[in-house]
């Protein structure tokens, strides 16, 4: 459905955002932030989405085995090559956000922030406000209507 809509001329009206950095291996979550993985994941997303550029590319989780500066260095190269426009981080502590931003500007931060999860107010929200990042408060969908499953979409949902 996505590819059909984009070929129908909707691509310029859509801000395309996707994530990278997490895979399931034998039922266990593995986090990846090494440059080779970052590049391969981006290339695979571009191919799957049948596009030449991703508007906002989020690192789904921070790989603590790879310095964020290394991951951001590869993301910066992808921006310079025109494969992605903007970089976002998900579930990153404020110190990591600041270190990442030194390498390449962060555009958005996705985090859980809700009535029962307010830890972000201590450092992350002030960091985002100070550097004028967009941030997305997610309560895991608890306080919102959940998105429709793809099999339940109608022609009018495009």
Mean pLDDT of the region 128-153: 56
Strand, helix or coil for residue 69: helix
Of 12 and 150, the one with more pLDDT: 12
9-35: buried (b, 16+ CB within 10 Å) or exposed (e) per residue?
eebeeeebebbbbeeeeeeeeebbbee
pLDDT of residue 117: 67
62-103: per-residue pLDDT in tens? 999 999 999 999 999 999 999 999 999 988 888 898 899 999
Residue 139 has pLDDT above 60, yes or no: no
126-155: buried (b, 16+ CB within 10 Å) or exposed (e) per residue?
ebbeeeebebeebeeeeeeeeeeeeeeeee
Task: Look at residue 152 and tell me if it is in a domain.
Answer: no
pLDDT of residue 9: 72
Task: Look at residue 155 and tell me if it is in a domain.
Answer: no
Task: Look at residue 129 and tell me if it is in a domain.
Answer: yes
102-126: per-residue pLDDT in tens? 999 998 888 766 666 666 666 666 6
* Nearest-angstrom CA–CA distance, 138 and 158: 24
pLDDT of residue 97: 87
Helix pair 68-80, 35-49: axis angle to 10 deg: 40
Q: Look up the domain containing 47 and give its range.
A: 17-141
Task: Look at residue 133 and tell me if it is in a domain.
Answer: yes
Of 122 and 47, the one with more pLDDT: 47
Task: Look at residue 7 and tell me if it is in a domain.
Answer: no
Residue 45 has pLDDT above 70, yes or no: yes
HSE-up (13 A, CA, CB side) for residue 117 = 14
pLDDT of residue 114: 62
Task: Look at residue 8 and tell me if it is in a domain.
Answer: no
Contacts 24+ apart (CB under 8 A), 21-26: 21/59, 21/60, 21/61, 21/63, 22/60, 22/61
Query: What is the tally of structural domains in the chain?
Result: 1
Of 153 and 51, the one with more pLDDT: 51
Question: What CATH number should be reported for the domain holding residue 30?
Answer: 3.20.20.100
pLDDT of residue 133: 62
Task: Look at residue 109 and tell me if it is in a domain.
Answer: yes
Residue 137 has pLDDT above 60, yes or no: no
């Amino acid at each position: 459905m996505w590819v059909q809509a984009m070929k129908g001329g909707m691509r310029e009206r859509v801000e395309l955002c996707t994530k990278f950095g997490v895979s399931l291996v034998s039922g266990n979550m593995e986090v990846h932030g090494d440059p080779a993985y970052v590049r391969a994941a981006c290339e695979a997303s571009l191919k799957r989405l049948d596009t030449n550029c991703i508007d906002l590319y989020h690192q789904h989780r921070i790989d603590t085995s790879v310095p964020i500066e290394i991951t951001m260095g590869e993301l910066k190269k992808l921006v310079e090559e025109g494969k992605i426009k903007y970089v976002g981080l998900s579930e990153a502590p404020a110190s990591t956000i600041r270190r990442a931003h030194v390498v390449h500007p962060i555009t958005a931060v996705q985090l859980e922030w809700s009535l029962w999860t307010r830890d972000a107010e201590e450092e992350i929200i002030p960091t985002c406000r100070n550097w004028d990042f967009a941030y997305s408060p997610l309560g895991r969908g608890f306080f919102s209507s959940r998105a429709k499953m793809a099999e339940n979409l109608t022609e009018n949902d495009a």
